[in-house]
Amino acid sequence: MSQSTEDCAKVILEVAPLVMRAIRTEMRRHRGPELSVPQFRILTYLNRNEGASLSQAAEHIGLALPTMSKMIEGAVSRGLASRLAHPSDRRRVALSLTAEGRKTLDRARRATEAQMTSWLQRLSDGEKRTVLEAMRILGPVFSAPPGGA
């Protein structure tokens, strides 16, 4: 009966990489100053978490600290993010998006969503409802870094 958990697992393991491949390819395809998936995720996080520290960002996104340090270095040098000293604790750093970063994020998001929308157009309304609901179910399952479980 509850054996369907395993079917579920199998099918996610099969389908998730296909979806990500499409997203990655699409993001890479925009010629011009576009974003990789990890860059996109970092900018998205900063957009919602003005003033976050490196550690906080790394923790949330699931990257090691030096990795995040390097990624941010790249974003700063491209003018997409700023990295200021925290006023009261000089070890820390306060990250935020620049106006340019916000603009780039928005452009990338819109382009990728538009492409994704076109892929999904062949779905019936019922199918779309099912997919939407499933994603809302899976989000919470996977957004708390499941490393701990």
Q: Where do contacts with its own copies occur on this chain (CB under 8 A)?
A: 1-2, 4-23, 25-26, 29, 37, 41, 62, 109, 112-114, 116-123, 125, 127-139, 141-143, 145-147, 149
- What kind and span of H or E run contains 129? helix 125-143
Pick 12 or 61: Cβ nearer DNA? 61
Q: What is the DSSP string of 88-109?
A: S-TT-EEEEE-HHHHHHHHHHH
43, 46, 71, 105: which one binds DNA (CB under 7 A): 71
Phi/psi at 83 (nearest 5 deg)? -135, 95
Minimum gap (Å) between residue 22 Cβ and its own copies: 5
- Alpha helices by DSSP H, listed for 30-96, are 37-48, 54-61, 65-77
Name which of residues 86 to 145 contact DNA (CB under 7 A): 86, 88-93
Q: Are strands 81-85 and 93-97 parallel, antiparallel or unpaired?
A: antiparallel
Under the rule (CB under 7 A), what is the footprint of DNA?
A: 36-39, 53-56, 62-67, 69-74, 83, 86, 88-93
